[in-house]
Amino acid sequence: MRLELLQRLNEARAAREAAIVLTDLASGGQDLLLERQVEAHIEREALETLLRNGRSGSVELGGTALFAGVYLPPVKLVCIGAVHISQALAPMARLVGLDVTIVDPREAFATTERFQGVDLRAEWPDVALPEIGLDRWSAFCALTHDPKIDDPGLHAALRAGCFYIGALGSRKTHGRRVERLTEAGFAADEIARIHAPIGLPIGAQSPSEIALSILSEITAVRRLKPQPR
């Protein structure tokens, strides 16, 4: 790999842009394609499939067998609520490879003592989220139980097309949430993207078990279904 190509690849990765490196294993010839170049490419369909699946592998493009290295941006996990569950979720999510940010305007909750070494924002979602930059490579969890704090975050996550959106609370709580989101103008199919009650049903009881169920659900959505476009 030429250093210049490696540099451009690393720049794209730093800018959260998906990229594909095509290598002719026989000749060593190599090319870098950025996500934004795919649309105009003659092999658009095959390249889009690679990006959607997010898996590197062999492809045949224009009659040539190539190896396609697919580089998707690292997944962010943004949690509204510096709560007990988040204290377990933050280190567990980091182990799984997610970039974690916790947002909670309540300063009693959002203390560095409770969240050592975690990117913690003691701000309202409306202030923090534009800065964090939710995108389709982001997972989002609303964990405060307080609509004043959770709802603006959910609005932002739905608008940004986060690949995973989960909200803590019982079915009854979620029923009221659905009503509020409907009033706020969100369509039923958008609201249906929210996973609530949050997490896979594994009988979780303790905060760390609930964190495990949330992380399992995020993993399932990310890995079992095609990557979001």
Query: Does position 25 bind another protein by CB under 8 A?
Result: yes
User: Using the rule CB under 8 A, is 188 a contact of another protein?
Assistant: no
Which of 17, 48, 99, 209 binds another protein (CB under 8 A)? It is: 99
If binding is defined by CB under 8 A, does position 90 make contact with another protein? no
CA dist 170 and 180 (Å) reads 15
Window of 35-43, 51-59, 148-156, 162-170 that interacts with another protein by CB under 8 A: 51-59
224 in contact with another protein (CB under 8 A): no
Q: Rounded to whole angstroms, how far apart are CA atoms 91 and 87?
A: 7
Handedness of CA 215, 220, 223, 229 (dihedral sign): negative
Q: How many residues does the chain have?
A: 229
Contact 142, 150 (CB under 8 A): yes
> Per-residue string for binding with another protein, 4-23, x by CB under 8 A?
--xx-xx--x---------x
3-state DSSP assignment of residue 37: helix
Strands 76-80 and 64-71 turn out to be unpaired
CB of 56 vs another protein, minimal distance in Å: 3
Residues that bind another protein in the complex, under the rule CB under 8 A: 1-3, 6-7, 9-10, 13, 23, 25, 28, 55-58, 67, 69-70, 72-75, 94-99
